[in-house]
Amino acid sequence: MAELMSGGIHFSGLASGSDFDTMITQLKKVESIQVNRMKLWKGDWQKRVDAFGTINTEIQNFQSVVQKMDTMSEFLAKSATSSFDTVATATTDAKATEGVYKISVGQLARNAMWTYNSGFADKTSKVNTSGTNQTFQYTYKGTQRTLSVGPDTTVEGLVNIINSDPNNPGVKAGLVKNGNVYNLQIRGMDLGAANEMTIDAGTNLSNLPAPNGSGTDWNRQTAQNAFFRINDWPPLNLDQPELSFIQSESNTVSEAIEGLTLTLKDVGTTQITVATDTEKIKQNIQDFVDGMNAVRTKMIELTKVSANKEASDPNKGTSQFDAEKGSVLTGNYGVQLLSSRLKLAVSGRGDGFDYYSDANGGEGDYYSTLAHIGILTVADQSDKDNGLLRIDMEKLDKALAKDPTAVAELFAADGIGTSDSQHFSYYSQIKGITKPGIYDVTYDVDATGKIINAKIGGQNASIDQNTHQISSLTGDSRGLVIQVNNLVAGSYSDTVRLKQGKAGQMDDILKDVLSSDGTLKIIEKNYEDIMDEIDKKIERESDRIIRWERSIRLRFARLEATLTKYNGQMESLSKQVSQLTQK
């Protein structure tokens, strides 16, 4: 009999002796062929999306590498060592020139400081025992403060009054424990001779008077500038010794030597040696190559065609890729486009770089491509590194020995402007607006010395006759400013270069690739849309199969009921015939 359970029809112990349940199961497998194919189809699209995800991961890793080396200060590693680091030390940036600098320190910059010589027995010792308000008065950096001190105020209370004064011009009061007593100390917070301090005559505290004429009650440290000389300059001046030194309000000096920040520590003389850290530069280059190769390796892996791959029967495989010699992304135009962009960026000139020429004593950039410093793509198909970058270390070492700054610019120039013209020079740009590149500059100078007919990048440029500057207002060069140095009448033309190194160039490409409207993201989104449509088809087909199964089970249930009825009739007739025969 048919048994109804949970809204479905199941057959057990069929009266007809026919196994309809097995028949329906087999028929359902046939009906489900299409939905199973669609599930496998969706799985193949998911494999493509997953493959893009692995490429994106390698791209993000590579991007983090290039972002750590896309400025000269990050890439061009230089070191500064001091022969006597107790006298002075130094840090460097990319602008520091290699060499040895003799630093002679005459005195250190210091702050103003006043210390009351008479100690107080404890922090609660009173400075005002008069029974009325008294005054503490001082002047710092030209600002005088007169503070009211109430009766019975302790020395610790005076410290709080000074420090919590809302109009405090920049002093700090404190108590210094000296043996069994406490000495009041007030100091200016700024170094340098301009930051002087005095305890003024208006101070009339009972136990803390203003300085006396002999100066024995207060100890005074006057504010002063640091005095130092670089390579024995300025020359000694015995009549005016202060002119024998460079002066600084701080012991940290960043503008005396370009690219060097000096930290003066004590009176004396030391040698600061500045050298280029070529090993660090080589490591930066190796990191760049390794990052690029990781991206390329992943793309090669996901797009390769293996002639020796054993393809399965298309009707028996669990994926279309099982029946193909290719890989998940073989022939994918998105990967091909990305690969082409990366290869072009690696093999081509850096943005704003020009090939070197010996004309006019040397023009252009000595290193304008990675090949110039020994970085090439392996083209030998029999080489295990075919398609990857490889460094010729001997050639790289020669390039670094010849001009490490030029090597660094090739990787890390971040808007460096230059021109080989003898008549004008690069002046400035607008970061984020002016694009790297090589721009033609043309202009005339009339008989009166005025600049006319100026163009930058083929577009009319504005002219400032007072500063003799030409500014680009349109196009990729917008914001670029040129300084005209030669105002002799005539026509002039040449180029100006705004350089961006390979790291910055690569970062721009990777940002575009990883952006929401980048090529890979668009393709990935298209694939996800396809899978969504497949899901809808699977849902519709699954609903159809459910309806089909319900219908077919009802049909077989009716058939079972009919067969049961006829079987019962046959049994009844058989019994009747049997009884007739017996009579």
Residue pair 521/514 in contact by the 8 Å Cβ criterion: yes
Residue pair 193/250 in contact by the 8 Å Cβ criterion: no
pLDDT value at position 318? 58
Rounded-to-integer distance, Cα 160 and Cα 157, Å: 5
Rounded-to-integer distance, Cα 487 and Cα 571, Å: 126
Task: Count Cα atoms within 13 angstroms, Cβ side, for 316.
Answer: 3
Rounded-to-integer distance, Cα 533 and Cα 503, Å: 41
**Strand, coil or helix: what is 517?**
coil
Per-residue pLDDT tens digits for 369-418:
999 999 999 999 899 999 999 999 999 999 999 999 999 999 999 999 99
Q: pLDDT exceeding 90 applies to what percent of the chain?
A: 66
* Residue 78: both structure tokens together: 């230089």
Residue pair 40/51 in contact by the 8 Å Cβ criterion: no
pLDDT value at position 62? 96
**Strand, coil or helix: what is 239?**
coil
DSSP string, 250-301: SSEESSSSTTEEEEE-SSEEEEEEEEE-HHHHHHHHHHHHHHHHHHHHHHHH
pLDDT value at position 388? 95
Rounded-to-integer distance, Cα 418 and Cα 428, Å: 10
pLDDT value at position 332? 84
Of 191, 197, 194, 184, nearest to 157 by C-alpha is 184
Global pTM reads: 0.73
Please name the amino acid found at residue 506. Answer: M
Res. 91: pLDDT tops 80: yes
Per-residue pLDDT tens digits for 109-149:
999 999 999 999 999 999 999 999 999 999 999 999 999 99
pLDDT value at position 15? 53
| Adjacency order of strands within the sheet including 490-500 | 414-419, 490-500, 437-445, 451-456, 459-464, 469-472, 481-484, 424-428
Average pLDDT over residues 449-461: 96
pLDDT value at position 360? 66
Per-residue pLDDT tens digits for 169-217:
999 999 999 999 999 999 999 999 999 999 999 999 999 999 987 778 9
Per-residue pLDDT tens digits for 27-39:
777 777 777 777 7
Residue pair 224/107 in contact by the 8 Å Cβ criterion: yes
Residue pair 347/377 in contact by the 8 Å Cβ criterion: yes
